[in-house]
């Protein structure tokens, strides 16, 4: 399998393939492993899984199926697989991974995202961290996809912000991509965003833009404005990306007319799905939606343990 291609439906995924699959998704295996190790350490807290150790024979094997209990957009399947691979490696055990769906897929209720076969001790120890990550990332992807559908037929794109969970930014922004959205800057070093506090400190919006352009000439500069007068000012200064903060629909239309293609425009400030189409139809290039990451509901994904005889052992 080419590293840039997701596994085919029903494919068994070797744990050794996971770094390649993560890299193909734009994720660093080391970063993902760091998140996984923190999640596992938090869950075990230096002890053992007392319930499983007491009730499950150490040599018992089964298959754990991660099933969607809601329809939505998947994100984080290789991350969930990496959780079980990490637990198995720590135990000197092996797990067999099978995926029926992959990141970016639209799934119906009952769809199996991932099936893991191996020692039950491994399956139960990895279950909750894997579900937490898979459900959260799929929730972000599902929320993003709803926005993408809401602005369909326009030339605008929905874009995330830095309003992400500390430590999970790369994963959450990956989930946005799975849902069809576009990423804004990953860090403060990637691009400049001149906001109101920078404007106050610099003595004006034009001065703030000029200061960034002079100090970091190769860095993309976006400038936040809250009036049409400020928009004209930054356009005359040479800004090529402008954030229109809390503009009304009519003001957005005026901003597009004034700009006349001289810069890209991004609408921001309390946007909601019920106004998404109207905002996108004004002609802006981007809709900045912090809610994609800071308010996305978790997609409900459950875990069903299948014993060797094929019967369900609950979740």
Residue 308 known to be catalytic: no
Residues 139, 268: contact at Cβ < 8 Å?
Answer: no
Instruction: Spell out a b/e string for 58-90, using b for 16 or more CB atoms within 10 Å of the CB, else e.
Output: eeebbbbbbbbebebbbbbbbbbbbbbbbbbee
To the query of whether residue 245 is one of the catalytic residues in this protein, the response is: yes
Q: Of residues 105, 222, 245, 285, which has the active-site annotation?
A: 245
Query: Which residues, at least 6 apart from 173, have a Cβ–Cβ distance to it below 8 Å?
Result: 160, 164, 183, 186, 293
Q: Is 163 one of the annotated active-site residues of the chain?
A: yes
Q: Determine which one of 163, 185, 253, 264 is catalytic.
A: 163
Do the beta carbons of residue 156 and residue 287 sit within 8 Å?
yes
Sign of CA dihedral 40, 44, 45, 46: negative
Strand order in the sheet with 112-119: 11-13, 96-99, 112-119, 61-68, 301-306
d(CA 213, CA 210): 5
Among candidate residues 94, 195, 213, 264, the one labeled active-site is: 195
Pick the catalytic residue from 172, 224, 266, 285: 224
- What positions carry a catalytic annotation? 128, 163, 195, 224, 245
């Amino acid at each position: 399998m080419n590293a840039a291609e997701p596994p085919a439906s029903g494919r068994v995924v070797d744990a050794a393939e996971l770094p390649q699959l993560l890299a193909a998704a734009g994720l660093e295996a080391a970063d993902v492993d760091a998140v996984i190790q923190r999640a596992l350490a938090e869950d075990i807290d230096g002890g053992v899984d007392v319930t499983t150790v007491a009730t499950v024979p150490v040599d018992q094997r089964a298959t754990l199926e991660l099933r969607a209990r809601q329809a939505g957009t998947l994100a984080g399947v290789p991350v969930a697989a990496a959780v079980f691979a990490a637990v198995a490696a720590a135990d000197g055990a092996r797990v067999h991974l099978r995926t029926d769906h992959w990141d970016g897929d639209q799934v119906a209720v009952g769809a199996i995202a991932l099936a893991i076969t191996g020692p039950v001790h491994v399956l139960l120890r990895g279950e909750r961290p894997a579900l937490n990550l898979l459900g959260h990332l799929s929730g972000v992807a599902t929320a993003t996809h709803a926005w993408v559908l809401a602005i369909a037929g326009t030339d605008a794109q929905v874009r995330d912000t830095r309003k992400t969970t500390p430590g999970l930014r790369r994963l959450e922004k990956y989930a946005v991509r799975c849902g069809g959205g576009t990423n804004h800057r990953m860090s403060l070093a990637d691009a400049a965003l001149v906001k109101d506090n920078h404007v106050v400190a610099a003595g004006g919006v034009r001065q703030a833009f000029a200061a960034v352009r002079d100090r970091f000439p190769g860095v993309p500069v976006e400038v936040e404005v809250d009036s049409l007068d400020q928009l004209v000012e930054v356009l005359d200064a040479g800004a090529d990306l402008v954030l229109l903060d809390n503009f009304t629909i009519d003001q957005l239309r005026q901003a597009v007319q004034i700009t006349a293609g001289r810069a890209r425009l991004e609408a921001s400030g309390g946007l909601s799905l019920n106004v998404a189409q109207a905002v996108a139809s004004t002609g802006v290039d981007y809709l900045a939606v912090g809610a994609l990451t800071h308010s996305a509901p978790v997609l409900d994904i459950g875990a069903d343990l299948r014993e060797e005889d094929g019967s369900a052992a609950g979740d």
